[in-house]
Amino acid sequence: MTRNAAERRLEPSCTAVFRSDAPELLPDNRDIARLRDQTVTLSELLVDHTPGWTPTNGPGDVHALAQVHRHQHAITGWDKDQELLAGAGVSVERLHSGCCGLAGNFGFERGHLDVSRACAEQVLLPALREADPNTAMLADGFSCRTQIHELSDRDGIHLAELLASVLIRTPRLIGRPPSDRQSRRGGRASPRRPHPLSQVCR
């Protein structure tokens, strides 16, 4: 940190801690201020802090829906992600969905399941049901990927995974998951692979 090197964070919630929460809690701490200024997202690292690097343009037939995390909405923004994906040849549709509804542990807390589902049903879940099977579901937030896993027959992938699938041609990461993940009942995970926390929110 003392060398002013960029500190990359992959999870939006973790990035928000260093960009916003910690400086607000410890406004006079010079180390925290330095860490705030040096913390970057993956897209910021590649677009703004990697001189000479440009993404290899993909085949041009990769399509993705993007569930933007609540901390990306509030703290980090998403413009650099969009710029990076465009440079990699990914056609991406940003869902105007707000929070996915899980919001950390909120959706898993007793009594919150209906609200969590309702949030997801506003935009996210209908978009997933209507999407082409080969469309990738981009979701950097762990909560967002968990909500997608629990309430649909899809799995979300991180920006790093989507870039890898395009740049090194690993199409298995794009689109629907393997067939054993497609047996969903009532919007919850198949008994073959239940989510370990799925019972606590009933």
Q: What pLDDT does 170 receive?
A: 57
Q: What pLDDT does 72 receive?
A: 85
Tokens standing for 117?
Answer: 């589902």
Inter-residue contact 12 to 69 (CB < 8 Å): yes
Q: Shortest CA distance to 72 belongs to which of 52, 97, 106? A: 97
The CA distance from 174 to 138, in Å, is: 9
Q: Kindly report whether the global pTM for this prediction surpasses the value 0.95.
A: no
Q: What pLDDT does 171 receive?
A: 54
Q: 39 - beta bridge partners?
A: 7
Q: Is the pLDDT of residue 20 over 50?
A: yes
> What digits encode the pLDDT tens for the residues 148-184?
999 999 999 999 999 888 877 655 555 555 444 543 4
